[in-house]
Amino acid sequence: MIKIPSFNFKIINIFITSAETRKKELAILQAIGMTNKQLFKMLLYEGFYYICISSIGTMIIKALLNIIPNTLYYFIYVYPLNSLLLLTILLIFLCTITTMLIYKTSQKNLLVKI
């Protein structure tokens, strides 16, 4: 359980870094007609995309770990499904909150010299 908070901070860092490096791109999209609602949805869907990729990765790891006990008789692994579900819910919440914060800060910096 100790690794969960550090993982969440890494996800938040990925969201913020992605938005910061694409600040100019987001401003251009708004300049050519992207509405604020569309920008928010785009940022939110990107966050959910990251969560889906990480969830698929853990499912692949679970599938691989189901193969290992058949080959190693001394290998015992319990997959924490409840913790994974809790972590996914927490990540969706953090994704939404972080997207709102990124959206609010991007609205302050609408005009960017291109």
44-65 residue pLDDT tens: 888 888 888 877 887 788 788 7
Please give the Cα distance from 105 to 27 (Å, whole number): 12
- pLDDT mean across residues, the chain: 76
pTM over 0.85: no
Residue 60: predicted pLDDT = 85
Residue 113: both structure tokens together: 């010299």
